[in-house]
Copies of this chain bind each other. A is one copy, B any other.
Amino acid sequence: MASIKDISKLTGLSLATVSRVFNNSPLVSEKTRQKVLKAAEKLDYQPNMMAAALRSGKSKIIGVIVPEINNHFFSGVINSIEKKLSDADYNIIISQSHESEELEKKALQSFMKLNVDGVLLSISKETTDFLLVQKLMNQKIPVVFFDRTPKLEVSSSVVLDDYKGAFMATSHLIDKGCKQIIHIAGDPKVSIFNKRKEGYIDALKQKNHDVSEDFILTLTHDQLRDMSVIKQLFQNNPKIDGIFAHGDEISLYVINILTTLGIQVPKQVKVIGFGNVDFTEHTYPRISTIDQKSHEMGLLAAEMLLKSLNDEEIIHSQQILSPELIIREST
């Protein structure tokens, strides 16, 4: 591989001037710039980012951690992040925590060793301590949290207003005439799922509906797969006419179970999900849902990071995106 040295030899210019050309320095004449560029072309020169990173302290690498990459929402966010950051000539390293604090730490440690310029992080369910993140921030490496954020005073983050989304979804069911609405809740370890639960409860309260713990189901994936739980619930409470599920996959699954049980959606029971995953508009019936703004979230998180990267001072700001109610056939 040709280096800056080879160009220097070929052109008779010093290392410094050659380097300046590739860094678009204004203090190099047009004539020599062309000479260098021509030589670079001839030698098929590729700058060595490792050397540049070592010397300058800037790696042009951004670390991204998500719980699972093959999750509709996260892959959507990453899609936007990658687009935005690669446009700004950054490379992105992606790691998965698989909901394990240990793996998350390992990834952060790797990021430090790799000298990343910034970090985008959606924390795992298990994460309770933020020492490593703090350490990064102390080293002036900007960190932007998205979707799943810790309770830290000083940090930047982009989240969805999950409470509001759940409130919207539940209110929508009520507006559509539902009297007995159940909620299929998510893992209570994940704070955004709790917020969805609160939104559901408050929407019911506001419209003077009864709130019953029996109507809030927190099921494991296996329990959910077993139709009998849902079946029994409907047998015991034939008046149930609305379901707010904390995720789209769950809502699709529930609709499937109801259809199997001969219960019609939306005629007898109206169902709304959360996420606005692609498939929701291709199902039968098409599923009403809350758009989670994955694209906007990725874009905004990337933009916030870029701003911190370009500005001298790291700015801390908390952005809250508003969810959007998508009304389709299932309600």
**Residues on A facing B (Cβ under 8 Å):** 1, 46-51, 53-54, 59, 61, 68-72, 75-76, 78-79, 82-83, 86, 91-96, 98, 106-107, 109-110, 112-115, 139, 249, 252-253, 255-256, 259-260, 278-279, 282-284, 286
Contact = CB atoms under 8 A, between A and B. Distances in A.
A83 B96 contact: yes
A48 B53 CA distance: 11
Among A98, A109, A279, find the residue whose CB has the most chain B CB atoms closer than 10 A.
A279
Contacts of A91: 93, 95, 110, 114
Contacts of A59: 50
10 contacts: A50-B50, A69-B75, A70-B78, A83-B96, A91-B93, A94-B94, A252-B283, A256-B282, A256-B284, A283-B283
Contacts of A93: 61, 91-94
Contacts of A70: 72, 75-76, 78-79
A79 B83 contact: no
A259 B329 CA distance: 13
A127 B279 CA distance: 29
Nearest to A90: B110
B69 A78 contact: yes
Contacts of A95: 82, 86, 91-92
A282 B280 CA distance: 12
Contact of A284 (B78, B114, B284): B284
Nearest to A265: B284
A47 B54 CA distance: 12
Nearest to A78: B69
Given A70-B79, A75-B69, A256-B284, A94 B92 contact: yes
A113 B107 CA distance: 23
A94 B62 CA distance: 11
Which 5 pairs across A and B sit closest by C-beta, in order of nearness? A70-B75, A70-B79, A253-B282, A75-B75, A259-B284
A48 to B, nearest CB: 7
A282 B255 CA distance: 9
A154 to B, nearest CB: 21
A303 B71 CA distance: 23
A36 to B, nearest CB: 17
A49 B115 contact: yes
A139 to B, nearest CB: 7
A48 B68 CA distance: 27
Nearest to A73: B70
